[in-house]
Amino acid sequence: MTDEMIFAVEGAVGRIRLNRPKAIHALNTAMCDAMIERLLAWRADPAIRMVMIDHAEGRGFCAGGDIRMIAESGATDGVGARDFFFREYRLNHLLFTYAKPVIAFMDGITMGGGVGISQPAAYRIATERTVYAMPESGIGLFPDVGGGWYLSRLPGRTGQFLALTGARIDGAECVALGLATHYVPSDGLDALKAAIAADPGEVDQILAGFAVPPPPARIAGNRERIDRLFAPETLEGVIAALQADGSEWAEKELATLATKSPTTCKVSLRLLAQGRDHADFADEMRVEYRVASHICQRHDFIEGVRALIIDKDNAPRWDPATPEGVSDHVIDQIFAPLPENQEWTPVPL
């Protein structure tokens, strides 16, 4: 067990609280293991009727995973990095298939690993403080933790847009896209949690009483552009469409794409293209684990973490440096199956 997690039972509700505020509750291996252990115990306990996930304090729900540790491992033998991904994806899958309803509070920063533990929930609460993003392409990683499943199922081409650009969206936009189920002002969250803990069987009615209509979603005004300009299935096609459009909005997105790893942008597009055809979330996790196992030791991830997190010069030197330099063969290698005894598997039943 770890003091970076707080577990409690309130009435018939099992509560999971992330408690690593200095890291904006970024997940590490011990936190994933602790959550899996507690979820399995509660799954077998008839007294627990619902699970609630939130954060104990600080300015965000969960900023992602322990990227520095993953990069340090990737720069050597990669064992620690692969172990983290294996366990994190087990946690994601366990939540996705959990027999009891889960409610997640996406209050504040919700990125990467935070997306992975909130999107499987039946109830996903956004607030005016929600900042949601999958920014992995900027550090040579990819939108994992189920990103290939969730983003590929968003309306139009918004999933491809979010995966490639790492754009940050707010709570109203999360509701508009279906990433959140309810919009609740942050000053009402404590009362909402107490009401649910007191009577989890009435969660739908309780949420209806606390939720308010969200403000207009900014992304709605850009949907036509997003669906048109991010329609191509290739990175080169998206860039060409943006260049041909020439609008101020397109130029801004082009500038954003120029900062991303061409390799992981291409990985992201293939992940979403495959993910929308998966019928089983375990298949998604298996593919993402293969990709993560390969990519955590590649140049772009080590370099991206150096540039954005360690040295903070924000000047990563991607290799290859252009989309044209990234061959289909390289992407095939990144998606290649692992030896059978190294493939990802769900938590045993």
Degrees, nearest 5: CA angle 334-177-227: 70
Residue 1 banded pLDDT, cuts 50, 70, 90: very low
Report the chain's mean pLDDT, rounded to a whole number. 96
Would you call 275 a catalytic residue per the annotation?
A: no
* Mean pLDDT, range 111-133, rounded to an integer: 98
Q: Of residues 94 and 67, which shows the higher confidence score?
A: 94
Calculate the dihedral angle through the C-alpha atoms of 41, 87, 179, 169, rounding to the nearest 10 degrees.
Answer: 130
- Taking only the tens place, the pLDDT of each residue in 97-112 is 999 999 999 999 999 9
Q: Report which of 282, 265, 253 is spatially closest to residue 321, judged by C-alpha positions.
A: 265
Residue 294 banded pLDDT, cuts 50, 70, 90: very high
Catalytic residue among 54, 66, 107, 136: 136
Give the per-residue pLDDT at 59.
Answer: 82
Residue 2 banded pLDDT, cuts 50, 70, 90: low
Would you call 33 a catalytic residue per the annotation?
A: no
- Taking only the tens place, the pLDDT of each residue in 162-212 is 999 999 999 999 999 999 999 999 999 999 999 999 999 999 999 999 999
Give the per-residue pLDDT at 216.
Answer: 97
* Mean pLDDT, range 319-341, rounded to an integer: 97
Contacts 24+ apart (CB under 8 A), 194-197: 196/13, 196/50, 196/52, 196/103, 197/10, 197/11, 197/13, 197/15, 197/52
* Mean pLDDT, range 215-225, rounded to an integer: 97
Under 8 Å between Cβ of 136 and 291: no
Give the per-residue pLDDT at 289.
Answer: 98
Rounded Cα–Cα distance for residues 30 and 4 (Å): 9
Would you call 113 a catalytic residue per the annotation?
A: yes
Residue 31 banded pLDDT, cuts 50, 70, 90: very high
Q: Report which of 179, 151, 178 is spatially closest to residue 165, judged by C-alpha positions.
A: 151
Is a pLDDT exceeding 80 seen at residue 336?
yes
Catalytic residue among 54, 66, 144, 253: 144
Catalytic residue among 14, 60, 64, 65: 65
Would you call 128 a catalytic residue per the annotation?
A: no
What percentage of the chain exceeds 90 in pLDDT? 95
Domain 5-342, CATH among 3.50.50.60, 3.30.830.10, 3.90.226.10, 2.60.40.420: 3.90.226.10
Longest dimension (CA), the chain: 60
